[in-house]
Amino acid sequence: MNTKKNLLLILGVIFLFSCKDTDKKHLENTAQVYFGGDIITMVGQAPDYAEALVVKDGKISFVGSSSEAMTVAGAGHQMIDLEGRTLVPGFIDGHCHFATFGAQAIGGQLLASPDANVDDIETLISVMKEWNTPQNRELTGWIFGTGFDDSVLKEKRFPTKHDLDKISTKYPIMITHISGHFAVVNSKGLEKLGINADTKNPEGGIIRREQNSNEPNGVLEELAAIPYMLEAIGPKSEEAGIKFFEAGQAMALSYGYTTAQEGRAMQNHEFLTTMADSQKLKIDVVSYIDYLFVDKYMNSKWNSKEYINKYRIGGMKVTLDGSPQGRTAWRTQPYLLPPDGMPEDYKGYPAIPNDSILSSIYEKAFVNNWQILSHTNGDAAVDQMIRTLKPLNEKYGNEGRRDVIIHGQYIRADQLDEAKKMNMIASLFPLHTFYWGDWHKELIGDSLGNKISPVRTALNKGVKITIHTDAPVALPSLMRVLWTAVERTSRSGKVIGEDERLTPYEALKAITIWSAYQHFEEDKKGTLENGKLADLVILDKNPLKVKADEIKDIQVIETIKKGVTVFKK
């Protein structure tokens, strides 16, 4: 009898502890089940929806039916009701400049309507006067603003030093063009930069002059501007640097970024590594080092296919010309409206005039197996890229290289054929159709203007594509990018190349799985599949189901990186 009682006691204790272990496992279960909305997997050639998605330990562990999801998640999992909202893979911008998001977030906001309200020079001056406070000046030592657009300003001209001198003659001022290829400084700024009547134009850049005089008028183009931009609008203290970084990252998170690109890293690479070492990055950032800095940075530990604290170097960036809206893109045909002071046959100009120098830059990338991003806007720049890259492809082969054409605004159909032969990816820029579609037609004519960013032609030819914001050229709003690729409608409401439109599903692929492929990350990101990272975005509406014109108004409700919420509206 005593033996039987002892046996029952032992079994009871075992049962009690097993229950406690089960309860403990329930409490430790971190699995999350998303349900109750449109879950778009982005797998396949047509939209594919799932009832539920399970996230565990930062990865997707199941995508499919609700009943199976409950079993996979296990007892004690968390249920997350989408409440009719839409779940998609995290957004990956095909090309942007993450390191300068902070300058856009903090500097004087000079974007035109509808993003801001700087539609004339008088308003520009007013905005910058208001921004000019001791606290703001302390950040960089300059009064600075970003995003003015001469093509939209009522005066249809660049501001000059005379306009900026109305803001201040005591402190240096720099404002940057929406293209990122021009800057304007006041008289004090020219003095601080050491630019005067005797300063010669650098190769690949122009210092604009006063009429009938060699005195600078304050407008700096391309390589006469870009090196100074980093100096003038870069934070001057560790505290300011962190403030810039956090403001820029917060902006990216609010637009659904889970992977961002620094599309032309120079000295700012060092700051990004500092942020990575400090574990301040909440999303992945992949940098492409400007060719002038590859000897300095490419041999570091950061040049890797794997992220280190969410940061890595992806390859090399080479810029071959300027911007079409600024009329520095290098064309084979003259612009219909040349810039002030330029001849009738003005075609823009190259950033690297010597083909042999460019070839040697490219060859270094082939020898070291670096992916190449080539900024080419004008068709003459694309011609130069092809004639220098093609022999290297033949010499070294291009298997698995995935070199990328960035922007390609005026790329021709025959050039897309060559890109296909070289296995190149075209990261095109249909955002231009809204911001500068009308302007392009004035610059190059109606028929060519309709072919800017020819995404449909590229796809039809079998060229892999992505689309991008080029932020801070515009706000890093990937929903607006998606909308412009689908609608191709200009500021005035005109359709810019109806035949070049993407479907909403194709446009969504271009900022998810196709962009993941561009970055060699398609095995981890870009679709909602078992085993991939739980990089997710929750939208208030489904871009595949709303009217095309409503896509631009879709809001990011939540951004999730590796299963952790990093932004919630």
Read off the pLDDT of each residue in 282-287 and give the average, rounded to a whole number.
98
Which string of b and e fits 325-338 if b means at least 16 CB within 10 Å?
A: bbbbbbbeeebeeb
> Is residue 17 scored above 50 in pLDDT?
no
> What CATH class is the domain 320-502?
alpha beta
Beta-carbon contacts of 254 under 8 Å, excluding residues fewer than 6 positions away, are 556, 559, 567, 569
Residue 1 has a pLDDT of 47
The domains of the chain are located at 1-26, 108-232, 320-502
Would you state the structure tokens that stand for residue 36, as one six-digit string? Answer: 């109750």
Lowest mean pLDDT among 235-249, 355-369, 414-428: 235-249
Position 186 confidence tier, pLDDT thresholds 50, 70, 90: very high
In CATH, the architecture of 108-232 is Roll (3.10)
Residue 10 has a pLDDT of 45
Position 358 confidence tier, pLDDT thresholds 50, 70, 90: very high
Residue 215's identity, in one-letter code, is E
Give the SS3 label for residue 506.
helix
Spatial contact of 476 and 96, defined as CB atoms under 8 Å apart = yes
Place of tokens 């002030």: 340
Residue 523 has a pLDDT of 98
Spatial contact of 426 and 456, defined as CB atoms under 8 Å apart = no
Cα distance between residue 444 and residue 241, in whole Å: 41
Q: What is the DSSP string of 128-144?
A: HHHH--HHHHHHHSSEE
Backbone φ and ψ of 191, nearest 5°: -65, -45
> Is residue 542 scored above 70 in pLDDT?
yes
> Is residue 142 scored above 60 in pLDDT?
yes
Spatial contact of 149 and 178, defined as CB atoms under 8 Å apart = yes
Read off the pLDDT of each residue in 155-161 and give the average, rounded to a whole number.
95
Residue 233 has a pLDDT of 80
Largest CA distance in the chain: 117
Lowest mean pLDDT among 295-304, 355-364, 440-449: 440-449
Residue 27 has a pLDDT of 57
Read off the pLDDT of each residue in 454-474 and give the average, rounded to a whole number.
96
Beta-carbon contacts of 487 under 8 Å, excluding residues fewer than 6 positions away, are 433, 495, 501, 548, 549, 551
Does the pTM exceed 0.85? yes
Residue 216 has a pLDDT of 97
Residue 208's identity, in one-letter code, is R
> Is residue 8 scored above 60 in pLDDT?
no
Position 431 confidence tier, pLDDT thresholds 50, 70, 90: very high
Would you state the structure tokens that stand for residue 473, as one six-digit string? Answer: 């050229």
- CA-closest candidate to residue 100, choices 184, 207, 179, 153: 179
In this prediction, what percent of the chain has a pLDDT beyond 70? 95
Spatial contact of 440 and 67, defined as CB atoms under 8 Å apart = no
Mean pLDDT of the chain: 93
Cα distance between residue 544 and residue 508, in whole Å: 9
**Angle 86-91-92 from CA coordinates, rounded to 5°:** 165
pLDDT, tens digit, 9 for 90 and up, residues 206-242: 999 998 899 999 999 999 998 888 777 888 898 999 9
Region for 180 from its dihedrals, namely left if φ exceeds 0, alpha if ψ lies in -120 to 50, beta otherwise: left
pLDDT, tens digit, 9 for 90 and up, residues 93-105: 999 999 999 989 9
Give the SS3 label for residue 184.
strand
Residue 210 has a pLDDT of 94
In this prediction, what percent of the chain has a pLDDT beyond 90? 86
Cα distance between residue 189 and residue 253, in whole Å: 34
How does strand 143-148 pair with strand 173-177? parallel
Residue 234 has a pLDDT of 82
pLDDT, tens digit, 9 for 90 and up, residues 496-534: 999 999 999 999 999 999 999 999 999 999 999 999 999
Give the SS3 label for residue 101.
helix
Residue 560 has a pLDDT of 98
> Is residue 401 scored above 70 in pLDDT?
yes
**Alpha carbon separation from 280 to 240, 242, 246, 265, 308 (Å, rounded):** 15, 9, 8, 18, 12
> Is residue 69 scored above 70 in pLDDT?
yes
Cα distance between residue 499 and residue 508, in whole Å: 18
